[in-house]
Amino acid sequence: MRFEITAASLLATTAAAFSDTSPFVLFSTSNELPINRPEDHQLITTGQVLGLMGENLASCTTSRYVLISQPGVHASDLRHPATGRCLAPNLCEAATGPSAKTRFNAAEVVGHDFLSLEEMEALVSSLCAGQRGEGGFVVESHALDALPEQKDMRRAKVIENDTKLGRIISSTAASSDDYTVIYFSPRNEGKTYKSEYVESPAIQMELKRSPAVVVEPRGARDGKSSAPLFVKYQFFTPGIFMGLVAVLIMLSILYVGLSAVSSLEIPYGAFDKEMGPAAQKKNN
């Protein structure tokens, strides 16, 4: 399957990238790079990427290495998750162009232990030193601006960085036809994005600690205070107040009940055998 179909694995029709993953793109004008893996991967670990670089860059098949770091980039920044449209055309064109004889790409590299730009440069230099010697190769490092968090600003920054990347690759291709490009997201590396918004001095506030010494009364520290009793303690808390109201309501109900019972009047004749209802029935 041709690499153009997968478009550097950045055009893969998959869900949006994980928040802790980043893409990795490697392409070279040399067809002697011994890559024994498929050209594109969707998910791969940082250990696998570093192992692949150690295996393939040890031969140092090109005399020029261009390292491009893009801090904080995700696969969804380089291709549309739904349509698969490439959002970094210069990168996709360079990675899929006819000059790129050897390619390896991973849409999502998992792990936070990837190399920084300086460490990547040192790794490539150490791998090529044994093959070409000092001065027999060139390693160029380019750090792009970090991407902001805001969606609109992030998209604009991706386009701006892709334009810079296009100029870097065009300049490299114009001066040499023997080069390898490595595009990756470094570990806590790169230029921090600075917003163009300038805060007005009128709305700046500083929180300062009062230099004055606060002397606490001795009585307050010892638990002894000369304040009045009702100031030191709260007697009528909401719970106590509600309890008193409930007791008053219950006493009122009890009073009404007792008053109703006490108001009942029964004549004593109702309990007399001669004058009671039974005696009246006999007389009738």
pLDDT, tens digit, for every residue of 86-95?
Answer: 999 999 999 9
| 22 three-state secondary structure | strand
pLDDT tens-digit series, residues 160-173: 999 999 999 999 99
Give per-residue pLDDT as tens, 45-96: 888 888 888 887 888 888 999 999 999 898 889 888 888 889 999 999 999 8
Report strand pairing: 40-45 vs 102-110. Answer: parallel
| Between 216 and 190, the higher pLDDT residue | 216
Q: How far is CA 160 from the centre of its chain?
A: 24
CA distance 147 to 22: 13
Using a pLDDT cut of 90, give the percent of the chain over it.
Answer: 27
Q: Give the pLDDT score at 149.
A: 87
The pLDDT assigned to 94 comes to 92
Task: Supply the DSSP string of the chain, one letter for each residue.
Answer: --HHHHTTTTS---PPPPTTEEEEEEEES-S-----S-SEEEEEEHHHHHHHHHHHGGG--SSEEEEEE-TT--HHHHB-TTT--BS-HHHHHHHHSTT--EEEEEEEEE-S----HHHHHHHHHHHHHHHH-TTS-EEEEEEPBPPPSSHHHHHHHHHHHHHHHHHHHHHHHHH-S--EEEEE--SS-SBPP--S----GGG--------SPPPPPHHHHHT---S-HHHH---S-HHHHHHHHHHHHHHHHHHHHHHHHHT----GGGG-TTTSHHHHHHH-
What is the distance between the alpha carbons of residues 190 and 156, in angstroms, rounded to a whole number? 18
Tokens of 4: 């153009």
- Check residue 118 and give its pLDDT: 92
Taking the model in full, what pTM does it have? 0.59
The tokens describing 95, both together, are 């990675």
Which pLDDT score, from 0 to 100, does residue 158 have? 94
Q: What is the pLDDT of residue 283?
A: 59
